[in-house]
Chain A
Amino acid sequence: MSTRESKPDILQGTLDLMVLRTLGTMGPQHGFGLAQRIQQISGGLLDLNQGTLYPALLRLEHRGWVRSRWGVSDNNRKAKFYEITAAGRRQTDRESEDWARMVGIMDRFLDLAPEE
């Protein structure tokens, strides 16, 4: 199918994991709310182009990790709500482990002392 998906981009991968983790802790959320929450968790350190969230959400939906439906927001407006699926939770766990392992490996490299 699409060649884009089979080419995991490191940045793309991290955004997917952030979205999954956030949705996993929050319950159904619209795109704006999700963006706010990610910004908030990152402590504003992340320079997120909020528009990029939507292609990411579509991607996650195609893989069956996220599902969406139309609903009404707090201020009574029509909005699309996203929710994590069971498969999405499993994927979150897998990716979290991968991520932790990667971080561990990177740490070892960063801790390398100069050899005598």
Chain B
Amino acid sequence: MDQAEAVEKIVTALKKKSKTKSKFYFNDLAKILDLKPRPAKKFINQMVTDEILEYWSSGSTSMYGLKGMGKQSHGEGED
């Protein structure tokens, strides 16, 4: 798998779920790529660097989301 293919898989899968969910655990992304965590991490790191994905953190847990997705205004019907 190359980076472009990984991006395609992640973006498609995350957009499909975007109505119900905007933040994903690392393991969810690794499953989408069908890779073990370490090789998946290389692709995912690059997607963060390329600003396709962004980190979300509660302080204790980290998650990933498509950049700009999942604002609270959307959840409260203010779009």
A and B: interacting chains: no
Residues on A lying within 8 angstroms of B by beta carbon are none
Residues on B lying within 8 angstroms of A by beta carbon are none
